Amino acid sequence: MPHIPIIMPQLGESIAEATIVRLLVQPGDDVEADQDLFEVETNKATMTVAAPCRGRVTSISARVDESYPVGVVLGQIEATAEESARRGLDPRTPASATESSSLPANHGANTPAPAARAGVEPTVRGLPVPAHAAGASFLSPRLKARMQELGLHAADLAGVAGSGAAGRVTIQDFELFVSSLEKHRLTQASSMRVAVADAMRRSWTRPLATVGLPVALDRLLAHRKRCERKAGPALYALRALALALAENSAPAGRLVGNKIVHPLAIDLGFAVEAEDGVLVPVLRKVDQTPLGELVGRYDELVELARQRRLPPNATGNSIATVTNFGTFGLTWATPIPLPEQTLVLGLGAGRKTPFWDEAKQQFVPVMEANLTLSFDHRVLDGGAAGRLLTRIAALLQEPEKL
C-alpha cells in the first residue's frame, strides 16, 4: 500500500518550526484521519499534529525534545485500500516514491539535521504582538517618499509587522496598513496635538509617561465578599477602565500622521504571567458586559494562558491592557503600552495605610493600592491622563455599578 508522509504543518501565522513534546502513537498503531499523532510546542503555545489519512503508522522519524521546521517529514502512514482509492494512489507505489512526491519542493537530501538547523523564533498565539513586528527599522527610498507624501513618521509604524528581509516593512506592508485605517473613524487632530506629537517623537521613538494615584479598596473587597462569583481586583480595574473609555474613547486612540484613529470596540487585554513570559488574553466589548458575566470568561482565559493554549479569537486587536503588578508585591511600577496601544493600566499591591477621617477626627486604617496609567505622550498629556485615571478610581468606589 502507498505510504503517506506525516509532515510538520504550518501551525499558525509565521510559525517556522515546532518542538516535539510527546508521541501520541507508536509504529504499528492503526490511526484514523485527523487523529492526533504528536504534541508539539511553538515557543509558548502547545498544539498537535494530526494524521493526514486513515491507515497504520509504519515509522516515526521525529524525536521528543527536538525541533523541526515546517515541511519536514515526521513519520510515515501506510494508507488503507479505501484511502488509497479515494486519493487515487497506486497500491504498487513504493514508500520512497510516495514520500518524494508528497514533500515540499525544498525538502531533499540537503535538508540539514535537526541539530544543525539554525534556530528560528516563531510567532505564537497569545503574544501581545507578532514576534516579527519590529516596526520600520529600515525605510527604503520609495517607502520614505510615500510616507512623506502622507505626512507619516517611522513611529507611526511601531506595531506594523514587516514581511521583508529581516522583518523590514515593505511598501506593500505599508499600503496594507494605510488601507486598514479606513475601517476606523478618523477625526482631524488639532495643530497643538500634532505639534506635541512631533516634539515627543524627537525626544524618544515612542515617548511614554506614567501618572498614578492611590485608591481605597475597602468597598471593592466588601463587594467581592458578597458576590457568589468572585472577581479579582484586576478584573474590577479592567471593567472600570472599559466604562471610562466608553464615556470617552479618545484616550485610547492612536495618532497616525495628523489623524486620531478611534477604536472600533472596547476590547481590553490583561497580562498573565506564563512559564517563561507574559501573554495577553483579550476580553471583547468589556463596556457592554457586566462584571458578573466577565468572571467566568476571565478565569477561563487565565487558565488557558498559563497552559499556553489561548484560542486565536482571544488574542490581539485590544486597545489597552491591564496589568496587576501587585501580585509580585510591588506597590508602584511604570508598565509600557504595547506597540499598537496607547494605554496600560497598572494595579499595585494593597496594604493597610492610615487615612484621616474628617467625621471621626482621627486616622482610621484603610486598604489602599496604587493605580498607574502609562500612556503614549503623543496622544495624551498629563492632564487628560490624570482625568482618566481619576475617573477609573471613582468607578472602583462604586463596585456594585460595575
Alpha-carbon span 324 to 31, nearest angstrom:
46
pLDDT at 179 over 50: yes
Please enumerate in sequence order all residues whose Cβ is within 8 A of that of 38, keeping only pairs 6 or more positions apart, or say none: 6, 20, 21, 22, 23, 24, 48, 49, 62, 74
Domain boundaries, the chain: 3-116, 141-183, 191-401
- To the question of domain 141-183 being in CATH 3.30.720, the answer is no
Selection from 193, 311, 358 nearest residue 259 by Cα: 193
- pLDDT tens digits, one per residue of 251-271: 998 888 888 889 999 999 999
- Which residues on neighbouring strands pair with residue 37, listed in sequence order? none
Interstrand relation of 268-270 and 320-323 (parallel, antiparallel or unpaired):
parallel
Which of 267, 272, 261 lies closest to 282 in space, CA to CA?
267
pLDDT score, position 276: 63
Over residues 76-101, the mean pLDDT reads 61
Confidence of residue 153 (pLDDT cuts 50, 70, 90): confident
Mean pLDDT, all residues of the chain: 81
In CATH, the number for domain 3-116 is: 2.40.50.100
pLDDT digits (tens, 9 = 90+) for 208-243: 999 999 999 999 999 999 998 899 999 999 999 999
What CATH topology corresponds to 191-401?
Chloramphenicol Acetyltransferase (3.30.559)
Q: What is the pTM of this model?
A: 0.58
Q: What is the pLDDT of residues 319-374, one digit of tens each?
A: 999 999 999 999 999 988 887 888 999 999 999 999 888 889 999 999 999 999 99
Least reliable range by pLDDT among 163-177, 227-241, 386-400: 163-177
Average pLDDT, stretch 47-60? 90
